Structure 1
Amino acid sequence: MKEQQPRISDAETREMQHYLLDILTAIDRVCKTHHLNYYLIAGTMLGAVRHKGFVPWDDDADVALPREDYDKLIAHANEWLPPHLELVSGVQNPYYPYAFARIQNKNTTYILRRCFNFVGGLPVDVFPLDGMTRNPVARYIHYKRYDVLIRLMYFAQRDPYKHGRGISCLFIKMCHKLLSQSWLHRRLDALQRQYSIEKTGLVSDHDNKPERGIQPREVYGKPTPVCFEGHTFMGVERPDSYLRYCYGDYMTPPKQMPPQNFRYLDMKQPYEEYIKEHPIKN
């Protein structure tokens, strides 16, 4: 498996963003054609408000759909998307290492920064939006269970030799043998569905920590048009409330750039070709 690449140049970042924009455009088209609600979220929503497009150094993009619409997208996206794109999740591939889906470009190769044995294409992350209890004790237990399952999925997929050979290596190998990927995906999916938005009035993006991943339903509201790189996509209804809750003073850029989200990227080689040249165990 390739080692971590140096940070890509501004020109390469911009080229990468053009690929991501193509995926976002396809998602928007599919959702509008099939009457699915979606939102730009996280740094992509931030970029829409602060930059009218990508945050200049962003190397990813994020959208989210309410659970019912998310399920429809998971079931049918690969019928609806153009041929060069595909959706991947734990439903399509049990070795996919996340509790949310991705729509990826099949003509590229993208390897996550974390040491998983998973190779795919350059993706846009697609998250489900579920409800969340208002009871603080029940919420604490819910997120503790979620964290345990996420950690087990990490152990079940992590490169056992990431930290060399020794006791930790044996523990990871044991997790590989004993933990079923399909079971972990089913348990994570069921846990995320535990509460409904309609009954609780709260929206949870489980990929975020509770202190910034739970917001009132009214903040998301009705998907609202927002300008992004010259296109009109759908954002949250109350972007200021959403972004202040997530980022605080969101109009002030950070002093340091975050690490890039991948350790290997090739925008010209299909990932299936890469896998043939670099076979992986899974």
Structure 2
Amino acid sequence: MSFDSGDSTERLLSLEEIKAHEKETLQVLWQYCRKHKIRMWLAYGSLLGAVRHKDLIPWDDDIDVVMLADDYFQLIELLKETNGFIDDRYRFVCSAIDSRCPVSWGKVIDTHTLVEEEILDIDSIPSLNGLWVDIFPLYGVHKQKFIQKGATTVSDFLYLLMRIACWKRLPGIGKRGQLVASIFGRFAKRIGYAAFAKSLELWLKFCFPTTKKARSVFCSARPEREFPIALFQKSIPLVLGNRKYPAPANYDTMLTMMYGDYRTIPPVEERVYHPMKAWLLK
């Protein structure tokens, strides 16, 4: 990424300022979803933070929500009309709206900010790479296990190529991932991360059943972990900062599936950090 942080029109943000901007982005997303009757839930570290800390995890600096894929596609169709812009500051991006999008899920971007992630080598564009809230669609699981396995094998491969194409280094991808990187690394970078993100998004949309007909759902970033769709039939409000957002009513089951003993705060050496810098654009 090329970015001149010494430009007088930008100001480097502190961690607390980053969190404040992200929580404001979450609020904008939630207001829009509520207006259009689109369901969403706090998820992953953000859900864990709301349950354990009533806020973001103290050492974390991003926000995740999930939507059932049917709701996610409805959100895309609504925002295509405005090129993703919810208002003049906040923009929803995904490959279906902006072909330059570096990931296969959705993000709501604060376009008045710009982010530099230490591990990523992607284009520095505020409308694509500002502070964000991740929206992970949950796709339906095939009833036949062999079909699900075959389909997710393809999606895993596309996901890995997407990541290889935009990573500066390859963290925690295991021996199989390292082998794929050694064979396809140059090819992936030549094709570009955006092409793989688009291909993966299309594959997921057309290859998996609608969530209305599915008994279980999965996230493409972790296809081996399937959640009963019944977890999302009821919602409860949870406090995150000074506002409330919907969470699965049976969040204990979801968090236990993901983290095991999630109420115990991990020691410092086991905490996962997200190294990045963010600037406020004037």
Where structure 1 has 5 or more consecutive residues not aligned to the other structure, the ranges are 6-10, 161-167, 271-282
Question: CA 1:158–1:15 in 2, change beyond 3 Å: closer, same or farther?
Answer: closer
Q: Which amino acid aligns with 2:158?
A: L
Q: Which residue of 1 aligns with 2:33?
A: 31
Distance (whole Å) between structure 2 residues aligned to residue 105 and residue 254 of structure 1: 31
Matching residue within 217, 221, 242 for 2:229: 217
Mapping for residues 1-282 of structure 1, pairs under 5 Å: 1=1, 12-77=14-79, 78=82, 81-119=86-124, 120-158=129-167, 172-178=185-191, 181-182=194-195, 185-193=198-206, 194-210=208-224, 213-255=225-267, 256=269, 257-262=271-276, 264-266=277-279, 268-269=280-281
Q: Partner amino acid for 1:269?
A: L
Paired position in structure 2 for 1:278: none
The DSSP-based 3-state class of the residue aligned with 2:198 is helix
Q: Report the RMSD for the aligned CA atoms in angstroms.
A: 2.9
Query: Match of 1:73, as an amino acid?
Result: L
78-87 or 251-260, larger mean C-alpha shift: 78-87
Per-residue deviation at 1:97? 1.7
Closer, same or farther in 2 for the Cα pair 1:179/1:103, shift >3 Å? closer
Whether the 8 Å CA contact 1:219–1:238 is kept in 2: the answer is yes
Q: Conserved in 2, the CA contact under 8 Å of 1:97 and 1:116?
A: no
Return 5+ residue gaps in structure 2 as ranges: 6-12, 170-180
State the SS of the aligned residue for 1:198.
coil
Change (3 A) 1:98 1:184: closer
Name the aligned partner's letter for residue 145 of structure 2: P
**Partner SS state of residue 111, structure 2:** strand
Amino acid at match of 1:185: K
Q: Which moved more, 1:69-78 or 1:180-189?
A: 180-189
Q: Structure 1: how far apart are the matches of 2:192 and 2:25?
A: 33
State, as a whole percentage, how many aligned pairs show the same letter. Answer: 22
Q: CA separation in 1, counterparts of 2:21 and 2:235?
A: 24
8 Å CA contact retained: 1:226, 1:233: yes
TM-score normalised over the length of structure 1? 0.79
**In structure 2, do the counterparts of structure 1 residues 207 and 173 end up closer, same or farther at CA, with 3 Å as the change threshold?**
closer
